[in-house]
Amino acid sequence: MLAPYACQPDQSRGRLFQERMSSFRSPFQRDRDRIIHSSAFRRLKHKTQVFVEHEGDYYRTRLTHSIEVAQVARTISGVLGLNTDLAEAIALAHDLGHTPFGHTGEDALGLLMEPYGGFDHNAQALRIVTRLERHYADFDGLNLTWESLEGIAKHNGPVIGPNADAKHAGPLPYALAEVNAMWDLELSTHASAEAQVAAIADDVAYSHHDLHDGLRSGLFSEDDLMELPVTGPAFDEVDRLYPGLDRMRRRHEALRRVFGRMVEDVIAVAQNRLTAAQPKSVDEIRHMGTTVIRFSKPLYQELKAIRSFLFHRMYRAPSVMAERAKVTRVVNDLFPLFIARPELLPDEWRADVQAATDEVTLARIVADYVAGMTDRFAIQEHARLFGGTDAGL
């Protein structure tokens, strides 16, 4: 039984291209399934989360991260009476637009695309699900419901208007503007509670698994984490309950407590805010002027300390920065080469290239191609086109 403020499948605003309803799947289940079966989703298997894909088999990739986000989103949504299928679909789609090499690749491509309208991975995810996935006879993209597109576009909050984050100042990313011109996503309002859940599930998942991966990489130790809020008390509790536990089990038990505290905090805050506001519909959620799904202020401050620690000890660690410099070179070499010689793009891209009437359009086609590359394919293409074996990776 869904709460009155949940997205109801039978009240969906539908799809841009009308289709017959499935006899055994709701519209949001169908969205989720199309995302899972998309080419872009499969490519996340070989795209960086923090560590470049070839650095080790145990580290998270964009694919495993997205699966973990979806699991958290389903859990929180289920407790709150929200539509778990929609929350899962948005969670699974939220990173489809990521470039190879994670945020490093996005930063590099963003600089290269500045003269052509910039690059944003959230907007690129919309471009993928509305244009670049080309498998269906009746339409380009996946023809997702309005609610799923809305969730991808603004799961992190309004993009325009008085409630938008300052980071959204300036013109809309072209990929987002194109989709919004086709179908108004109401960019000045908050998204559904399901989309808000997907956003915070992303925070929960990466805060948890980056601690795991950082420990496995040796960039910091359990002793370091015992000095931090949230993680320190978690290790203390495990040591009290299981004295002498071996290192790997101790690590896992402590970090699962960190994970549990984040999820329980989000649920408690949401229940309190929803009880106080008594929203009667999903549109009331959208127009509340604030989020209903968030961390409590005390936990948020504690998590800021953990994120600061991860930033300095992991994301900006010398070994990670050295790797970032190498993969930045790959993107910086490939993009201008394809602009100068678009005939190097695969055959399936030729029609788009031939239809391009100006340099901006061509640059966006090249950005689509480069952004869609996996880590390993980008490295292989760089070696093939520029000589050498692995671009120093």
- Residue 53: the pLDDT is 45
Structure tokens at 153: 């576009």
Cβ neighbours of residue 310 closer than 8 Å, sequence gap 6 or more: 210, 211, 214
Give the number of C-alpha atoms closer than 13 A to the C-alpha of residue 83, restricted to the C-beta side: 29
Pick 27-182's CATH classification: 1.10.3210.10, 3.40.50.150, 3.20.20.80, 3.20.20.70: 1.10.3210.10
H helix intervals, the chain = 27-36, 39-43, 62-80, 84-93, 102-112, 121-127, 146-154, 174-182, 193-217, 222-225, 231-241, 247-277, 282-286, 297-310, 318-340, 350-355, 359-372, 375-386
Return the percentage of the chain with pLDDT > 70, whole number. Answer: 96
Report yes or no: 78 and 84 within 8 Å, Cβ to Cβ. yes
Start-end of CATH 1.10.3210.10 domains in the chain? 27-182
- Residue 393: the pLDDT is 57
Average pLDDT over residues 110-126: 96
CA-CA distance, 292 to 95, in Å (whole number)?
A: 23
- Residue 165: the pLDDT is 84
Q: Is the pLDDT of residue 30 over 60?
A: yes
Tell me: the pLDDT tens digits for 260-305? 999 999 999 999 999 999 999 999 999 999 999 999 999 999 999 9
Average pLDDT over residues 334-361: 96
Tell me: the pLDDT tens digits for 54-77? 455 567 889 999 999 999 999 999
Tell me: the pLDDT tens digits for 7-21? 999 999 999 999 999
**Predicted structure pTM score:** 0.95
- Residue 337: the pLDDT is 98
